[in-house]
Amino acid sequence: MADELRDELLNDPLARGYSTMTDQAASDDLNTEYRTRNRTIMSASEVFNSIDKAEFDALSNANETLIWNVLHLGDINPFGLEATVFTAVFPGGGATLTALAADRKQPISRAAELELSAVKSRDVGYARN
């Protein structure tokens, strides 16, 4: 952990201002969820609950069946062919695609993004010295 943390603090690639922060402030910043990463899997229930009812009701029978078939796959890849089906069926800029675009991102901390466990102020002090 020390090497990755030291590199982050010294190089500050996201220009967070670590050099001006106390050890506690830097650890707080590193543990705050201000970053996102793509989710690799979503449950069918999560996807279903993101569907706008009015948009779903407006689908043709064939498209409604297609959506149900995708949902019955179980786990869904939010960046896979399943997403292609949804973007082909639901209106661009509509509530469903807007919700799904947000839901397929996962909030994470910079520490998690660097694959570090929760960073404590003493970790920051150690990495700086």
- Cα 48–49–53 angle (5° rounding)? 85
pTM (2 d.p.): 0.74
Helices then strands, counting H and E runs in the chain, come out as 9, 2
Residue 59 near residue 89 (C-beta atoms within 8 A) = yes
CA Rg value for the chain = 20
Looking at the predicted structure, is the pLDDT value of residue 2 above 90? no
pLDDT tens-digit map of 52-78: 999 999 999 999 999 999 999 989 999
